[in-house]
Amino acid sequence: MKHKQVLFLHIFYWLLIIFNGLIVRMIYSKGGLDILDVTIFLANFLGFYVNYFFVAPRFFNPNRFYLMIIGFFVGVFIFVVFRYSIEEVLLPALTGFRNYAEGTTFLYYFYDNIYYSSLTVFVSTNLWFFKYYLKVEEEKSVLIEERKYAQLQALKTQINPHFIFNSLNNIYSLVYQNSDAALPAIEKLSELLRYSTKDLEKDVISLDKEIGYIESLIGLEKLRIKNPELLVIEKNINHPKINISPMLLVPFVENAFKHGDFRDKGFVLKVSDDNKVLHFYLHNFKNHKMKDSASGIGIENVKKRLEILYPKKHELYIKDLESEFIVDLRIIFPYEND
């Protein structure tokens, strides 16, 4: 599309030049086109594209203004050489006719044609700059996309070890207590690790897989909680195959289990996707005895990923109260999910 814009500007410029020439001829002369109309158009055309393809790319440097001034006069010089060669060398040899009086020096010819060549060189340079700007913007967009991809991969990689660390802590506690739940917990962790290893390699997974991951995680955590019935989960999913970035919701649940108070309290988790707007709500109570320097790492990663993946398409409200922690997230799914 951008290349078509540049092509359109070229076509528009030359149509404008031709139209202007015809209007001038109609106003100031009753005759048709003469040979000089053709020669100056040819000089303009040749000078324009030599400047466009060769001069402007070599002399344009925003940090060295004097080079652009030199480039301008180089473009003027090339135009003059073309016009002089056509009108004062080739034309007399073929027709015996010349534009300037015989004996006119090249220096005078150059000075007299600065005016006629300036518009051609100026427009040619600006069109080249426009093409250059579009190219730079396109390259910048590619770099931004590559940087986003690299950043997302790094963030997802950070989340996975954090999840393993939490799960191993849970299993360690069960093993230490010689609980019969230790072996099922190890088996459950093995299932989750296989699941996470497979899906973290993908850019997106279906919403039902992400929720299934959360349900498996909760199932693992229930093995160590005395009152698992306090974990209230409400799910209303109408579009289970909508795509979502993997491990985008899990860190909130991990955080709840890591820092939550489950002695006689639980949490409320609600997930819905009415009108293709994902609503994730989690309310848990905080355990003030469980503090560490790694608190909140997963949530900070999610915030960054949301900014990258869903700019201006999400709302995240976090209330970090004295004894409660509330997450209220809404994501408007993009049209490619239709």
Q: What is the pLDDT of residue 295?
A: 46
Q: What is the mean pLDDT of the chain?
A: 81
| Distance, CA of 313 to CA of 307 (rounded, Å) | 9
Burial 189-228 (b: 16+ CB within 10 A, else e): beebeebbeebbeeebbbbbbbbebbebbbbbbbbbbeee
Long-range contacts of the stretch 292-299 (C-beta < 8 A, 24+):
294/162, 294/165, 295/255, 295/258, 295/259, 296/255, 297/158, 297/162, 298/159, 298/162, 298/163, 298/251, 298/252, 298/254, 298/255, 299/251, 299/252, 299/255
What does the DSSP 8-state code read for residue 238?
S
Q: What is the pLDDT of residue 294?
A: 45
The pair of three-digit structure tokens given for residue 138, joined into one six-digit string:
């396109």
| Distance, CA of 279 to CA of 270 (rounded, Å) | 8
Q: What is the pLDDT of residue 289?
A: 62
The structure's pTM equals: 0.54
Pairing of strands 243-244, 205-206: antiparallel
Q: What is the pLDDT of residue 146?
A: 62
Please state which CATH class domain 202-337 belongs to.
Answer: alpha beta
pLDDT one digit per residue (tens) for the chain, 338 residues: 567 888 888 888 888 888 877 776 666 665 555 787 788 889 889 999 999 999 988 888 767 778 888 888 899 899 989 988 888 888 888 887 878 877 778 888 888 888 888 889 999 999 998 888 888 888 778 767 765 665 566 556 555 566 577 677 777 877 877 777 778 778 777 777 776 667 767 778 899 888 988 888 888 778 777 788 889 999 999 989 999 888 889 889 888 888 888 887 889 999 999 888 999 999 999 876 655 444 455 788 888 888 888 888 999 999 988 889 999 999 998 755 55
CA torsion angle for 280, 284, 289, 295 (degrees, to 10)? 10
Burial class (CB in 10 A: 0-12, 13-18, 19+), 283: middle
The pair of three-digit structure tokens given for residue 25, joined into one six-digit string:
């001829």
The kind and range of the H/E element at 65 are helix 65-84
| Distance, CA of 21 to CA of 34 (rounded, Å) | 11
Q: What is the pLDDT of residue 293?
A: 45
Q: List the chain domain ranges.
A: 2-141, 202-337
| Distance, CA of 264 to CA of 87 (rounded, Å) | 99
Neighbours of 328 (CB within 10 A): 15
Length of the chain: 338
Looking at the DSSP assignment, which residues form a beta bridge with residue 325?
284, 320
CB 85 within 8 A of CB 46: no
| Distance, CA of 175 to CA of 189 (rounded, Å) | 14
